[in-house]
Structure 1
Amino acid sequence: MDFTLLLMIAVFVASLVIQWRLQATFGRFSQVVSARGLTGAQVARAILDAHGLTGVRVEPAPGVLTDHYDPQAKAVRLSEANYASPSLAALAVAAHEVGHAVQDAQGYAWLRVRANLWPVASLGSNLGPILVLVGLGLGAVGLAKLGIYLYLAVAFFQLVTLPVEFDASRRALEFLKRMGFLAPGEMGPARQVLQWAALTYVAALASSLATILYYASLLGLFGRREE
C-alpha cells in the first residue's frame, strides 16, 4: 500500500481519537458547576467589559459547540448550552471566544493574516479536490497540480490558525484566573478542555498535509508509483 495512503489513514484515526477525547472531556466538565456559579454568557460579558469592549455583543447560537467570535458583527456567539451553563467547560469555551474578540481589538497580527487568507482558503477547500480528481481523470496534470496548489492554501490557512487558537486559549486561562472566575482547583479542567480543542486544529492541519502528499503521490511527483 502507498505510504501516503497509510499516512492519511493514520491521521484520520488520530483525528477521530482527538475528537473523541474532546467530546469526552467537554462532556465530563460540562457536568461540573463552577464554584461561583456564573454562566458562560455572564463570564464573557464581564471579560469583555473589563477590556473596554462594551460594544461587543454576547449572543446565544443554535447547535452544539457552535461557539465562535464574529469579527464583522463584533459578537461573541456561544452555543445555547454554554451560554446558559455555569459549568467549567462552558466558562473555558466562553473565555476562549472572548480571547478572539480581544485579539481583534488589539490588532493581533495572526488573526488579521488568517482573515485575509480565508477567501483563498475557502476556494481551495471547495475547488482544490475537484480539480485534482478531474485532472487525474482526464490526464490533465496541469489541472491536477493547480488543485494541489489551491489545497496548499487550505493547509497554510490552518497553519496560521494554530497561533490564533493557542493564543486565545492562553488568554482565556489568564482571564479566568486573574479575574477570579475559577478557583485554583478548577483551572486544570478548563485547561484540559482548551487543550483538546486546540489539538483538533493540529489534526486538521495534519489531515490537509497528508491529503496533499497523497494527491502528489497520485500525480507521480515523488517518482513513479509502484503498481
Structure 2
Amino acid sequence: MWLLDTGFIIFVIPALFFVMYAQNRVKSAYHKYIKVPSKSGFSGAKVARAILDNSGLDDVKIEQSRGELSDHYDPRKKVVRLSSNVHNGTSLASLGIAAHEVGHAIQHANGYFALSLRNMIFPAANFGSKLGVPLFFIGMLFSQGGNTLLMDLGIALFFFAVLFQIVTLPVEFNASTRAVAALEGSNFLTVDEVKPTKEVLNAAAMTYVAATAMALAQLLRLLLIRGRRN
C-alpha cells in the first residue's frame, strides 16, 4: 500500500525517470568524449597539478582511484582522486573532470560558502537520509491514536537530506565554471574544445539536479501522507 500511494505516483515515479535520464546522459557524454583526445596532449593528472599549483595549492595531492567516474576531492586529506581514465587520459572528458575536481579543492581553500555549508550539514543529512524515511513509516504504524511524533521526526530528519542536495547544486555548478575558466585561461583547451568539455560537465551536473528532484519528491510524498493523518 505504501508503495502505491498517491504521492509515490505523482512525485516519486517522475523523479525516478528523471534520475535514469540523467544517469544515461552523463554516461553517454562521458563515453563519447573520453575517446576524443585534447589538442594539448596533457593528461588529466598533469592538468590538475598545473591548476592546483597556479592556485597556490601545492599542498593538495593527486591520487589515482579505482573504478569509472569515481573522481572526487577529499577535503579532509586534501587529495584530488582521479579514476584511471581521467588521471592518465588526455581526452576532453579527462581534462574537464580533472579540472572540475580541482575546482572543489579551490573552493575549499577559498572558504566557498556553499561548500562550507554543505560540509557543516553533512552529518545531519547523512543521518536523515538513512533514518528519516524508515522512521516516518514506523511512525505510521503507531499514529492511529493521533500520535504523529515519529512521523514528524522522520520528516524533520529527511529535510536535512533534502537541504544537503539543494546546497550541493551551487557547489557543483561553481566547480564546473571554475574548471572551464582554468582550462581556457591556461590554454589547455582550444576554443572549439570548450563546448564539448562543457557538455560533459553539464551532463554530470544534471545528475545532481536529478538527485535533488528525487529528494524533494520523497519529501513531498511524506508531507502528503502526513497531511492525510490529520
Q: C-alpha separation between the residues in 2 aligned to 1:125 and 1:2?
A: 22
Structure 2 counterpart of 1:124: 128
Q: 2:15 is matched by which residue type in structure 1? A: V
Structure 2 counterpart of 1:10: 14
Structure 2 counterpart of 1:49: 53
Q: C-alpha separation between the residues in 2 aligned to 1:54 and 1:203?
A: 34
Aligned length: 223
Q: Which runs of 4+ in 1 moved over 4 A?
A: none
Among 213, 216, 219, the residue aligned to 2:220? 213
Question: What does the per-residue CA deviation read over 1:159-218, in whole Å, with 9 as the maximum and x for residues that have no partner?
Answer: 111111110000000001010001111111110011111111111111011101111222
| Unmatched tracts of structure 2, length 5 or more | none
Residue 164 (1) aligns with residue 171 (2): yes
| Identity level (%) | 42
| Unmatched tracts of structure 1, length 5 or more | none
Question: What does the per-residue CA deviation read over 1:58-82, in whole Å, with 9 as the maximum and x for residues that have no partner?
Answer: 1011111111111110111111221
2:7–2:224 CA contact under 8 A, matched in 1: no
* Secondary structure class of the residue paired with 2:38: coil
Residues 112 and 206 from structure 1, CA distance in 2 versus in 1: closer, same or farther, beyond 3 angstroms?
same
Question: What does the per-residue CA deviation read over 1:32-54, in whole Å, with 9 as the maximum and x for residues that have no partner?
Answer: 01011111101000100111111
TM-score (norm 1): 0.94
Residue 175 (1) aligns with residue 179 (2): no
Structure 2 counterpart of 1:66: 70
Structure 1 residue 4: deviation in Å?
5.1
Structure 1 counterpart of 2:97: 93
Structure 1 residue 137: deviation in Å?
2.5
Among 179, 200, 203, the residue aligned to 1:196? 203
Structure 1 residue 15: deviation in Å?
1.1
1:8–1:214 CA contact under 8 A, matched in 2: yes
Among 162, 174, 183, the residue aligned to 1:155? 162
Among 122, 127, 142, the residue aligned to 2:149? 142
Structure 2 counterpart of 1:27: 31
Q: 1:48 is matched by which residue type in structure 2? A: L
Structure 1 residue 145: deviation in Å?
1.3
Q: C-alpha separation between the residues in 1 aligned to 2:86 and 2:71?
A: 8
Residue 79 (1) aligns with residue 80 (2): no
* Secondary structure class of the residue paired with 1:31: coil
Q: C-alpha separation between the residues in 2 aligned to 1:141 and 1:131?
A: 11
Q: C-alpha separation between the residues in 2 aligned to 1:58 and 1:3?
A: 44
Q: 1:34 is matched by which residue type in structure 2? A: S
* Secondary structure class of the residue paired with 1:47: helix
2:103–2:175 CA contact under 8 A, matched in 1: yes
1:4–1:213 CA contact under 8 A, matched in 2: no
Q: C-alpha separation between the residues in 1 aligned to 2:155 and 2:80?
A: 34
Q: C-alpha separation between the residues in 2 aligned to 1:155 and 1:7?
A: 14
Q: C-alpha separation between the residues in 2 aligned to 1:3 and 1:146?
A: 19
Question: What does the per-residue CA deviation read over 1:85-131, in whole Å, with 9 as the maximum and x for residues that have no partner?
Answer: 11100110000000011111111111111110100000001111110
TM-score (norm 2): 0.93
Structure 1 residue 224: deviation in Å?
6.7
Among 113, 116, 119, the residue aligned to 1:112? 116
